[in-house]
Amino acid sequence: MQKCIESDQPIPIFFAFRCVTVDIIFEYMFGRNPYLIDREDWGQGFYDFWRSLWEISPWLRQFPSMLKVLQSIPRWVLAVTSPKALQVMDMETQAINWTKEILSADPKEMETREHKTVIWELAHTSSLPPKEREPRRLAIDCNSTVAAGFETTGSALSHLIFGVLNNERIHQKLLDELQFEILDPEKIPSYQELQELPYFHAVIREGIRHSIGAMGRQSRVNPKAAMSYKGWIIPAGFAFGMSAYYILMDPEIYSKPHDFNPERWLAPDAHEKLHPYFYPFGKGTRSYVGQNLALAELHIAFATIMRRFPSLKLYNTTKDDVEIRHDFFAGMWKYEKGDMGLQVKG
């Protein structure tokens, strides 16, 4: 980013954020870092790859057996008929190869690594039955977690930066707090300390709310008993679901819900009126267990960028570019291969 600012080049921040979230989640899952952050194309090739999967995901959700059909089609046929599906298949093969590679590592070397690796820990836990610890199963689970982890967090960061840079007053208020509280931009405080900054924390909440997180309907089944809701009876074993969108954009809870308004989280009654409806991570027993990882990433990455680069401005980006257009489980913006997406300049 520094180099771009010095040479007055635009920064494709949509991709830059995903580089950060991909590198982090890969380290956790596979114990290897693809260093997208150092790539010339800002990880755009990698994103194209995943976008192919997102685009066929509504089909896979309705017809899960489609994946098996795709797997049985020869590569060359897919290359001609559906290059996107081929990319998805290749991605799965790559994850399986990485899984096998890490599982054949020297246990002593794994023990001395600075961080634990999810795939290694899952393969060696007695809490899972052996069939759930097979390399193929582990690879697919870890690949799904990469998908769940990088797009949601990358999207929240993108909504955050747009919301802030699109409003001079909010931007200035945020900079005032960050510059007062963080004297040395090279020494960014910990996640716990950043959570204590009231305006910054309110901005983060508002960005997460706007990004929705899991836009797709979160399915639930009560296998044991019928349930009643507003006069409706949902029979036992019957799947039902709801998108977080309907809570996070409900005007009766969040007034003018489409406005980016961090102040709403600082109102005296916010704790009582808004917090119980803060639903991006779900609620209850199925709520997202890794939300502290996501929140830590968001706080640290966003504070670092805003504090180190106070002169950032939106470039070639309007509200239309950051409108959620697709429910590919995560809510996604319009995108054509080659688009630069949300950009900023320093």
Residue range at the interface with ligand HEM (CB under 6 A); choices 36-44, 189-197, 287-295, 312-320:
287-295
CA distance linking residue 217 with residue 157, whole number of Å: 22
329 φ/ψ sector (left φ>0, alpha ψ -120 to 50, else beta): left
Contact characters 242-281, ligand HEM, x per CB under 6 A? --------------------------------------xx
Pick between residue 153 and residue 343 the one whose CB is nearest to ligand HEM.
Answer: 153
Does 213 participate in binding ligand HEM (rule CB under 6 A)?
A: yes
Using DSSP, state whether 232 is helix, strand or coil. strand
Residue range at the interface with ligand HEM (CB under 6 A); choices 30-38, 223-231, 265-273, 288-296:
288-296
Does 17 participate in binding ligand HEM (rule CB under 6 A)?
A: no
Structure tokens at 315: 């470039």
CB of 180 to ligand HEM, least distance (A): 27
Does 214 participate in binding ligand HEM (rule CB under 6 A)?
A: yes
CA distance linking residue 5 with residue 97, whole number of Å: 39
Round the CA-based radius of gyration of the chain to a whole number and report it.
21
CB of 91 to ligand HEM, least distance (A): 17
CA distance linking residue 269 with residue 72, whole number of Å: 57
Residue type at 242? M
Contact characters 152-181, ligand HEM, x per CB under 6 A? xx--x-------------------------
CB of 31 to ligand HEM, least distance (A): 14
CB atoms within 10 A of CB 95: 23
CA distance linking residue 19 with residue 154, whole number of Å: 8
Structure tokens at 329: 């489980």
Does 43 participate in binding ligand HEM (rule CB under 6 A)?
A: no
Does 145 participate in binding ligand HEM (rule CB under 6 A)?
A: yes
CB 113 within 8 A of CB 121: no
Does 57 participate in binding ligand HEM (rule CB under 6 A)?
A: no
CB atoms within 10 A of CB 221: 12
Give the residues lining the site for ligand HEM (CB under 6 A).
25, 145, 148-149, 152-153, 156, 208, 213-214, 218, 280-282, 286, 288, 290, 293-294
